[in-house]
Amino acid sequence: MTLLLQQNIKKHISLSESETAIFCGLFEQRLIKKKHFLLSEGEVCRFEGFVVKGLLRVYHIDKNGFEQVLYFAIENWWVTDIDSFTNETPSQLYIEALEDCEVLLISKKNKDFAYENLPEIEKLFRVMTQKTHVALQRRMIDNLSKTADQRYQEFSEKYPQLIQRLSNIQIAAYLGITNVFLSKIRKKLALKR
């Protein structure tokens, strides 16, 4: 159950076998059916999640009622609302399963236990938070400085797996363009090849 999580951790830090067992034991397995929610707006996010199987989307409903996708999470990725989880405030986000999902969840209490008893875990989450922060900053800057064509092309090159598994509607929502505009971009790119 925790094999993927163990491999993920190993990329960043060195834990002994017993430490790894302790850390992985702090997670709880959750299965979420397609179209069901791991988190809804207004709830306090009580977990940080590691995706073992499936695909989730993290989004916000803006003032005009549009769904704005912050990010997607597939196998080997982490998923949470860091603001709500850290500050124990109601979330402004939805986390929805776009496929049947298996997720490993760690609570705030268990994460604090890990910080206190397994010092290397500080590094794990420092590095991970840094990566997510970089990704969010890039997304913000890309939205300001790149055309939709460029953003689609880069997204499909960087995440070929996501492109295959997401519907056109989801990709368009992520890029902040209409479905029709996405089709035009795809046709244009197909002609270039």
Contacting a copy of itself within 13-32 (CB under 8 A): none
d(CA 150, CA 156): 10
Sheet of 48-53: strand order equals: 27-32, 101-106, 48-53, 78-79
Confirm if 79 and 95 have CB atoms less than 8 A apart.
Answer: yes
Query: What number of residues does the chain have?
Result: 193
The reply to whether 158 sits near a copy of itself by the rule CB under 8 A is no
C-beta closer to a copy of itself: residue 50 or 85 = 85
Q: Whose Cβ is closer to a copy of itself: residue 55's or residue 124's? A: 124
Site for a copy of itself in 77-96 (CB under 8 A): 82-83, 86-87, 92-93
Torsion of CA 141, 142, 143, 149, to 10 degrees: 170
Taking residues 41 to 80 in sequence order and writing x for each that binds a copy of itself by CB under 8 A, - otherwise, the string is -------------------xxxx----x-x----------
Of 99 and 159, nearer to a copy of itself (C-beta) is 159
**Residue whose CB is less far from a copy of itself, 31 or 140:** 140
Q: What is the largest CA-CA distance in the chain?
A: 57
128: left (phi over 0), alpha (psi -120 to 50) or beta: alpha
Q: Which residues bind a copy of itself (CB under 8 A)?
A: 60-63, 68, 70, 82-83, 86-87, 92-93, 115, 119, 122-123, 125-126, 129-130, 132-134, 136-138, 140-141, 144-147
